[in-house]
Structures are given as structure tokens and as C-alpha cells.
Amino acid sequence: MCGVFGIYTPAEGPDRDVARSTFFGLFALQHRGQESAGIAVSDGDRVTAMKDMGLVSQVFDEGRLSGLAGHIAIGHTRYSTTGSTVWQNAQPVVRHAGGRTIALGHNGNLTNTAELREELRGRRVSMRSTSDTEVMAALIAEHESGDLGEAVADAMGRIEGAFAAVVMTERGLAGFRDPDGIRPLVVGRLGDAWVLASESCALDLIGATLERDLEPGEMVVVDERGARFRKLGDRPGSLCVFEYIYFARPDSVMHGRGLHEVRRRMGERLADEAPVEADVVIGVPDSGTPAAVGYARRSGIPFGEGLVKNRYVGRTFIQPDQALRERGVRLKFNALRSVLEGRRVVVVDDSIVRGSTTRKLVQMLFEAGAREVHLRVSSPPIVSPCFYGIDMADQDELLAAGRTIEEVRRRLGATSLAYLSLDGLEATAGPAEGFCRACLTGEYPTEIPADMRLAKLRFEPAPVPVEIR
């Protein structure tokens, strides 16, 4: 998970503070990555970049933004995978080659990084890290044509996996999406400016209007000649279904669908599939809330706010001491006794990965006086790892992998447990062909190299559904 943003304003157009627009665009995309943030700008002659560890509002202040003058900008918020909380991995990645500079921000994960890295090394291209983003940036920067569009098109033909990226030179901006469209990227307009963003909520915040999603395998180049779109490949598209279930903000529109509405319908379907007698429906805030509202509406059970979330938790560099760590989940959530005491509670969450947070949540609800805790999950069980840039977990860490629903329920300590079915997901999110659902089915839309697979997969069987008590 990462957030990317890009803006191009004509050099001769009205003065626009592109660094400030990018700051606010990233601010809207903060949920996609809290590890580091960065912005690169160009004034037509020179690319200047600034990046650091932390939230967007921690990395940038008025002083830093005022040092980023120009009419083209890109930005990035990063959610790292394990063990890589280092400045060197913050983006945009900047590379100089052939007398020009490129800056690139990427959301996704390449599956042929090792092979491309070897090839670049053979061409004596120096690399500072092993990151797939640097490989992508190097392929574009080292391209012999010097034309941004040609370099991007060529790179898109070489790289495999999931990617949605923004890239800029001194004179132009480009955005591109992998042939399966696994990670999202939208195009918007702000007067005569072109804007690219991971999600439409970033366009809303800066007052831009959503034009459309960039299509799977499509690229756009914007420069003094205007915007030029080009589609490479004709695969049907496999958008990560977890963008709909959890990742994207509920106020974003993706592939023409408002995500709050989709999640509410998932909750309604869950109420149809897994009804239960109860006194109150609560959601795990924030991402479980729309589905909880849907479940309550369809079941007729009143909706209540039984869990309060500390909205400022984010990532902190101050580690809690042991006593605090043992209380774990209370750093993030607290239970409202007045809503829960003596009640039969339906709690709706969007997904369960390892289950450690869910187990503590269930326990917290009982401690706050809930008589029964019926857990309803608005996605099917996660049974396979993600190779496309979502740091979920390895196969053996996934709670539902190789376990029956009843075994999972016992581990979580809930009174009952039910997940949305794959059919239910299809009925609410859309046809299975339009989505990557690999972590739910084990069927990956692209070839996963054996070494990558072996590192993560243990080929455990999928869980067997059981009747709900």
C-alpha cells in the first residue's frame, strides 16, 4: 500500500503552488501509507525533491513547501513492508542519467525485480537499493530515447506484477498502471491542470474533478503539448478487491462506484447470509462501519457505536512499554460499556488477517459487559498471501489458512463467526473477472515466480465452512 499523486500545470498558465496541491493530495492519501512522505517538483529546468520519515504533516511545513517551487510535481506516501523503515526507501526515487533527472513514486510490487536488476547490473547501471521502485526508475531514466513516453511504454513492457506509478522529468509528468490494473490510479482536472492520484478523495480535497480511472495497462504523458493517453495491452483488469473492502477511503470513487455504498451493500448481504438474533450492531471503526450500517439496516437490529477509535494513533516512533503493550489494542480502540453491557452484540469488521487484534477486540467487548459477541466479517476468509504490494502476512500467519470457520471462531473467542461468501462479494463488489481476489482464492492474475511463491506459500488447504451457531 502506498499513495501516489501528480500534477502538471502549463508553465505559461496562472501561477499555481503545485507543491501545496501535492501536500494536500498526499494529506488525503495518508491512509495509504504513514511511514514516509515525499514531494518532487520541477520548474522546467530542475527537479527538486524532499522526503522524510513520518506523516505528511510531520515531513512538510511552510518553510519546506516554499522551497519547492515549480509547475510540475509528484508526491508519495509510503506504507513499508517489514523491516524497511529507512529513509533510503522513502519516495519519490530520484535518478539522474543522460543529462536529465527523473523522479518516480510507485504503489505496488513487481514480481520480476531480481531479473531486471541483474540485467541493469550487466549494463553497469548503479543501484543504491534492492527496491523494485528503483529498478523501475532506472529502466525509465536509462532509456536511450530520452523521451518520457517512450521510456515509460518500454518499461511497462518489461516490468511484471502490480504497479500504479507517477513519474516526472524537468518538463513532463506521466502516470501508468499495470496491465491487470491491480492498483488504482485516477485522472482529474483542475482548471487547465492535469492531476493523477491513487484515489479520487485526493482530487476532492484540492478541488479537482474526477475525469476517469486510468485503465489497466494505460499510460498518460502530460507536457507542453498537452495530455496523451496510450493503452498497452487489452487484459480485462483485476483491481485489488481489498481496495473495495478496506484500503481505499469510503469517500473515494473507484471504477465508477462509491466505496461507502459498496461496503454498506456488503453489510446488507452479510445480514442476509448470516442472520443472528441480537440487540445491537456495532462496527470496528472506521473501515467496518459502513458494512455495520448495512447489516443493521437489513437486519432491523439497531446500530450503535460500541467502539471508539483513537483517530490520532497512526504510526508512532515512541514504543509503548511492556505494560501498555499488553493492553495492546486499547491504544487504538476502547469499548463503550453503556452501549454493550448486558447486550447481545453483532460486531462487523471488514477482514481478519492474523486475528490478533480481533481476538483482543472480542475480549474487550466481553469485558465491557457484552453478553454475546457475534462476529461478522464483510469479506471472505483470507487464505493466501498477497504478492502485489499489500503487506498482509505470510501464509502460515493467516488465521483462516488451513482452518475451519469453527476453529477460527474458537481462537477468536467469539460467540459466533461468519464471513461474507465469495458469491456475496461478487454480488456486491462486481463480477469476479474484474478483480484480483487471489488472497481469498489462491488464484493469482499473474505468474508468480517460484522463488517468490516458495518464500511465502505453504499450500495449506482452504477453510471448510461450518454451520453458524
Contact (Cβ atoms closer than 8 angstroms) between residue 75 and residue 1: no
Q: Whose Cβ is closer to ligand SF4: residue 169's or residue 351's?
A: 351
Of the candidates 2, 240, 386, 439, the residue annotated as catalytic is 2
Q: What is the DSSP secondary-structure string of 385-452?
A: ---SS-----GGG-TTTT--HHHHHHHHT-SEEEE--HHHHHHHH--GGGEE-HHHHS--SS---HHH
Shortest Å distance, C-beta 162 to ligand SF4: 6
Shortest Å distance, C-beta 128 to ligand SF4: 27
Query: Going residue by residue from 182 to 221, which x/- string records binding to ligand SF4, judged by CB under 6 A?
Result: x---------------------------------------
Q: Whose Cβ is closer to ligand SF4: residue 29's or residue 140's?
A: 29
Selected binder of ligand SF4 within 388, 401, 425, 457 (CB under 6 A)? 388
> What is the DSSP-derived secondary structure letter of residue 12?
T
Choose among 374, 333, 370, 377: nearest CA to 351. 377
Give CA–CA dist 10/325, Å, rounded: 51
Selected binder of ligand SF4 within 76, 95, 255, 437 (CB under 6 A)? 437
Shortest Å distance, C-beta 210 to ligand SF4: 22
Shortest Å distance, C-beta 380 to ligand SF4: 11
Give CA–CA dist 2/232, Å, rounded: 24
For residue 386, state whether it binds ligand SF4 (rule: CB under 6 A): yes
Shortest Å distance, C-beta 344 to ligand SF4: 33
Q: Whose Cβ is closer to ligand SF4: residue 176's or residue 242's?
A: 242
Selected binder of ligand SF4 within 365, 390, 400, 425 (CB under 6 A)? 390
Amino acid at 92: P
Give CA–CA dist 386/78, Å, rounded: 17
Q: Whose Cβ is closer to ligand SF4: residue 30's or residue 441's?
A: 441
Residues 6+ positions from 178 with CB-CB distance below 8 Å: 108, 156, 159, 161, 162, 163, 164, 216, 217
Q: Which phi and psi angles does 65 have, rounded to 5°?
A: -65, -40
| Range 223-262, binding ligand SF4 (CB under 6 A) | 240-242
Give CA–CA dist 293/302, Å, rounded: 9
**Element at 103 (helix H, strand E):** strand 100-110
**2 annotated active-site:** yes
For residue 439, state whether it binds ligand SF4 (rule: CB under 6 A): yes
Shortest Å distance, C-beta 117 to ligand SF4: 23
Residues 6+ positions from 89 with CB-CB distance below 8 Å: 36, 78, 80, 129, 131
**Cα–Cα distances in angstroms (integers) from residue 153 to residues 136, 177, 178, 219, in the given order:** 12, 11, 11, 8
Q: Whose Cβ is closer to ligand SF4: residue 307's or residue 393's?
A: 393
For residue 266, state whether it binds ligand SF4 (rule: CB under 6 A): no
Q: Whose Cβ is closer to ligand SF4: residue 21's or residue 446's?
A: 446
For residue 438, state whether it binds ligand SF4 (rule: CB under 6 A): yes
Residues classed as catalytic: 2
- Contacts with ligand SF4 by CB under 6 A lie at 182, 240-242, 386, 388, 390, 436-439
